[in-house]
């Protein structure tokens, strides 16, 4: 009897050891697959892990790409496993797998609660893809591919058919800093604010006021002079040095806000995103992601090669086994001067003789990219080519 108990114990330890070994192998394959196929988890959902139950390998987690899942399963084909990987969008969202931002500026967070870090913002009328719902929060992907959480009060969910109807509707975009939408044609009783880049449906227009509709169906009235036709905007907007610098200068002195992407307050990458969006270009959300856009410019020790509108990237240089790390972005004004959001939107210079010289920024300059005249670059996303707009 004691021998049987001992044998069972030994066999149990053997199977546990085998299970642990298989799990480690599966973890290694998944990690290597992620490093190779998932460039950045800020722009893709890939949370997959192996689990063992009664000696059986179970793949759990989620991804937002069916092809990615199929490729991973193929990489694990030498294992006998049970597939419990969830592909987003999932059933929690019902039939509405898109949404339209319903506030002038909606705050999007790293996790589904109001105390979580604000990682980005989205403007009124911005289309988003909905991936899943958790309580009153939606996991969404914005047109720049960024993935984050938004509270239900900031979004109006729609089906793909409804989104396409919105795309075909007469829309207008706000091209001033700030204004209000009113309840009546007399411009009385405000129902919402709007900010640069807000998009609404146009219902009726006269020389003084325009009747508009919000994504959730609310009706209001705005001053006609502050809005332009959205289709005309997206099809005619193309950045040039003059328009980029002119808009950037208008933001001088605006406060810095971590995660901010509106003209009310913005962080460094939100600042350049806003400038380029109003010039027809969708840039990636964060500075380290924006390094993929446009054509590469040699920095060397000279600044003569920089043109107004170039993106300048700063951070930690590669050294002593530490990888390069981009932490900041600015807009070149040409030559040695640049404008950026750092505490507030301000000017600085690489020239030691200048009153606005920043030795810290000069020493931390890493690389530069050119967006203007780079519209044929596959990494430059035009608003009029984006399928959601």
pLDDT means per 10 residues, the chain with 389 residues, are 53 50 89 95 96 86 97 93 95 94 98 98 98 97 98 98 97 98 98 98 97 98 98 94 97 98 98 97 97 91 93 94 95 98 98 98 96 87 96
Q: Does an H or E element contain 7, and which?
A: helix 2-37
Q: What is the strand order of the sheet 325-333 is part of?
A: 295-297, 365-370, 308-316, 325-333, 337-342, 344-349
Question: What's the sign of the alpha-carbon dihedral 257, 262, 265, 266?
Answer: positive
- The reported pLDDT for the residue numbered 120 is 98
Residue 3 lies in a domain: no
Q: Are residues 162 and 173 in the same domain?
A: no
Q: Are residues 187 and 117 in the same domain?
A: no
Residue with tokens 């070149």: 332
How far does the chain reach from its first CA to its final CA, in angstroms?
74
Q: Are residues 252 and 375 in the same domain?
A: yes
Q: Are residues 259 and 372 in the same domain?
A: yes
Cα dihedral 143, 175, 268, 64, rounded to 10, equals -10
Between CA 303 and CA 306, with CA 305 as vertex, the angle to 5 degrees is 75
Residue 316 lies in a domain: yes
Q: Are residues 358 and 241 in the same domain?
A: yes
Residue 36 lies in a domain: yes
- The reported pLDDT for the residue numbered 7 is 46
Could you list the beta-strand ranges (E) of 68-165.
Answer: 81-87, 98-101, 105-109, 118-123, 127-134, 137-141, 147-151, 155-158
Q: Are 185 and 204 in contact (CB under 8 A)?
A: no
Report the number of distinct structural domains present in the chain: 4
Q: Are residues 353 and 281 in the same domain?
A: yes
């Amino acid at each position: 009897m004691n021998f049987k108990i001992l044998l069972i114990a030994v066999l149990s330890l053997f199977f546990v050891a085998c299970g642990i070994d298989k799990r480690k192998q599966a973890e290694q394959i998944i990690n290597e697959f992620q490093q190779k196929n998932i460039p950045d988890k800020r722009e893709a959902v890939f949370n997959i892990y192996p689990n063992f139950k009664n000696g059986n390998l179970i793949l759990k987690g989620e991804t937002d790409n069916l092809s990615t899942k199929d490729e991973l399963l193929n990489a694990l084909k030498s294992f006998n496993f049970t597939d419990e990987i969830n592909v987003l969008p999932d059933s929690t969202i019902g039939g509405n797998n898109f949404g339209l931002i319903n506030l002038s500026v909606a705050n999007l967070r790293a996790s589904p609660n109001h105390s979580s870090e604000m990682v980005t913002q989205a403007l009124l009328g911005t289309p988003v893809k909905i991936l899943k719902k958790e309580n009153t929060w939606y996991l969404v992907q914005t047109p720049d591919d960024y993935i984050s959480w938004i509270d239900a009060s900031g979004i109006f969910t729609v089906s793909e058919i409804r989104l396409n109807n919105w795309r075909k509707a007469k829309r207008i975009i706000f091209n001033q800093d700030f204004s209000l939408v009113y309840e009546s044609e007399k411009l009385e009783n405000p129902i919402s604010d709007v900010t640069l880049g807000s998009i609404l449906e146009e219902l009726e227009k006269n020389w003084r006021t325009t009747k508009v509709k919000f994504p959730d169906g609310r009706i209001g009235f705005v001053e006609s002079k502050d809005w332009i036709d959205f289709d005309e905007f997206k099809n005619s907007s193309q950045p040039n040095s003059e328009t980029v610098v002119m808009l950037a200068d208008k933001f001088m002195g605006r406060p810095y806000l971590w995660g901010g992407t509106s003209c009310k307050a913005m962080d460094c990458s939100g600042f350049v995103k806003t400038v380029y969006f109003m010039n027809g270009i969708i840039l990636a959300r964060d500075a380290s992601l924006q390094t993929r856009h446009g054509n590469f410019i040699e920095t060397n020790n000279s600044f003569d090669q920089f043109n107004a509108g170039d993106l300048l990237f700063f951070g930690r240089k590669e050294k002593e086994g530490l990888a390069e790390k981009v932490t900041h972005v600015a807009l070149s004004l040409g030559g040695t001067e640049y404008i950026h959001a750092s505490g507030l939107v301000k000017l600085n210079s690489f020239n030691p003789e200048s009153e606005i010289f920043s030795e810290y920024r000069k020493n931390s300059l890493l690389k530069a990219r050119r967006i203007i005249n780079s519209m044929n670059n596959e990494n430059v996303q035009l608003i009029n080519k984006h399928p959601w707009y």
